[in-house]
A and B are shown apart, each in its own frame.
Chain A
Amino acid sequence: DQQVKQNSPSLSVQEGRISILNCDYTNSMFDYFLWYKKYPAEGPTFLISISSIKDKNEDGRFTVFLNKSAKHLSLHIVPSQPGDSAVYFCAARTVYGGSQGNLIFGKGTKLSVKP
């Protein structure tokens, strides 16, 4: 059973517009959430994260929103650029026993930003 779900396998957006990527989770023990970006033939790279004690984290054009009651988070990219075209993975983690838990990933959403 998937604990982290990205229900949209793909998204197409016009350059300059906002891209919104969504992610849902089922495990209420998750306390840290991350977004990774992956280009073809490369490993995923960290983009932005948010702790469960916050509802928003912003870094330049990227903002992550967390709605704990709905177990939902989203990544907003504004304005979108063609170089943002990639697969975006949502990930979540629990921390237990004082050590870092592993990351549980969604299946990813392929974003295409058209010039």
Chain B
Amino acid sequence: DAGVIQSPRHEVTEMGQEVTLRCKPISGHNSLFWYRQTMMRGLELLIYFNNNVPIDDSGMPEDRFSAKMPNASFSTLKIQPSEPRDSAVYFCASSTGNSGNTIYFGEGSWLTVV
């Protein structure tokens, strides 16, 4: 079975540009998570969806960040405008949403904003 699929794997962009990260969760999973990893803060949750509905977006750092999940098989995380401090690895993860089940991570999108 395919795991969580993220694209792009690597992105280098200039400050001020819009960045869109994409995620396809594991088929049948109804919870989707966006995490960001930095040296300073480790792995921090940005937002998570349950059945395509955002449940908790308290981790989204600023209004420049937005996330959507238009259907069960696709989600986007958008940064507009991007800033150098947004440089990080962004992970998407999914799970079945049942208590006690683990979440499965994608390989991450490495973002560098110059």
Contact = CB atoms under 8 A, between A and B. Distances in A.
Interface in A12-54: 32, 34, 36, 41-46, 49, 51
Contact of B33 (A49, A102, A107, A108): A102
Given A100-B99, A102-B48, 5 more contacts: A42-B108, A43-B91, A46-B102, A100-B98, A102-B33
Interface of A: 32, 34, 36, 41-46, 49, 51, 89, 95, 99-100, 102-108
A105 B43 contact: yes
Contacts of B97: 99-100
Given A49-B102, A100-B97, A105 B44 contact: yes
Mostly helix, strand, loop or mixed at chain B's interface? strand
Interface in B28-73: 31, 33, 35, 41-45, 48, 50, 55-56
B104 interface: yes
B42 A102 contact: no
Interface residues of B, number: 28
A44 B102 contact: no
A34 B42 contact: no
A107 B91 contact: no
B25 interface: no
